[in-house]
Amino acid sequence: MHNSTNILIVDDEKAIVKMLEMMLKKEGFQNIFTAHTGQDALSTLQQNQIDIIILDVMLPDGSGFDFCPKIREISSAYILFLTARVSDLDVLTGFATGGDDYVTKPFNPLEVAARIKAYLRRNSKTAVSANQANNRKYDFGRFLLDEDAGELLVNGHTVPCPTQVYLLLLYFCKHPNIVLSKSTLLEAVWGFDSYVDENTVSVHIRRVRERIEEVPSNPQFLLTVRGLGYKLVKGNQP
């Protein structure tokens, strides 16, 4: 059962909302919130602790891509886009605005459940390793990742970090000064059961740099090793 997981479904098609709500409850998710507009979703998020958001791209009061950055200002929930747009540009737009995964319409509702369960498995493993650790903090000077608290601190200030961005940075912190290929990162952070591709890694690398680097376009910590991948270095700061 997943009684402690709060899920928000945001879609103006009431039939889709009802179908997803019924399916998720059959799969053991009991705490389901619904919204039919982006503004309703923001209001729900301000009043409730939401863990997972199923967000339609086409909403009556704007694009889900436009609402995503607003959501990120108040929530680090896992965001799964529902979209009829399948081009690479649209997918990358979703990730760039703060999304974590996507499903294209028409979709099998069980696929949505599978994505959510895969995310929860990965998140659970991270939580278990954090509980087993003793004060697991990764200090790089300018920034510190506190695994026990699940927080990123930059110059002493907490910086909001969406789930996949956090997990990607955490993996780098656990493997400093090692060149990691895109395929390695995909397998480690998104898992074999994910449908994302290597472009997803590039987008999330940029999102990590936007948080930890003083000048994201001239990184001092998360470096590109041309033709091989990326590595997180210590002692490279000015």
Give the domain ranges of the chain.
6-120, 135-232
- 1 confidence band (pLDDT: 50, 70, 90): very low
**pLDDT at position 238:** 42
Amino acid at 238: P
* CATH number of this structure's domain 135-232, picked from the four choices 3.60.60.10, 3.40.50.300, 1.10.10.10, 3.40.605.10: 1.10.10.10
- Contact assessment for residue 24 and residue 51, using Cβ atoms and an 8 Å cutoff: no
In whole angstroms, how far apart are CA 196 and each of 101, 125, 182? 7, 20, 12
Q: Are 213 and 206 in contact (CB under 8 A)?
A: no
pLDDT tens, residue by residue, 19-36: 999 999 988 898 999 999
Q: Tens digits of per-residue pLDDT, 30-71?
A: 899 999 999 999 999 999 999 999 999 989 999 888 899 899
Residue range 6-120, CATH number: 3.40.50.2300
Q: Is the pLDDT of residue 197 over 80?
A: no
Q: CATH topology of 6-120 equal to that of 135-232?
A: no
Query: In the predicted model, is pLDDT for residue 144 greater than 90?
Result: yes
Is there a contact between 221 and 236 (Cβ–Cβ < 8 Å)? yes
44-53 burial by CB neighbour count: b if 16+ within 10 A, else e? Answer: bbeeeebbbb
Q: 158: Cβ–Cβ under 8 A, 6 or more apart, which residues?
A: 151, 152
Instruction: Give counts: helices (H), strands (E), the chain.
Output: 8, 13
- The model's confidence at residue 215, banded by pLDDT at 50, 70 and 90, is very high
> How sure is the predictor about 229, in pLDDT bands with cuts at 50, 70 and 90?
very high
Cα→Cα distances 29→18, 95, 101, 102, 140, Å: 14, 25, 19, 20, 39
pLDDT of 9: 96
Question: Residue written as tokens 């509702």?
Answer: 109
Q: Answer whether residue 135 shows pLDDT above 60.
A: no
If we measure between CA atoms, which residue out of 136, 141, 166 comes closest to residue 155?
Answer: 141
pTM value surpassing 0.75: no
> Which among 160, 177, 188, 151 is positioned nearest to 236, based on CA atoms?
177
Query: Which one-letter DSSP state was computed for residue 162?
Result: -
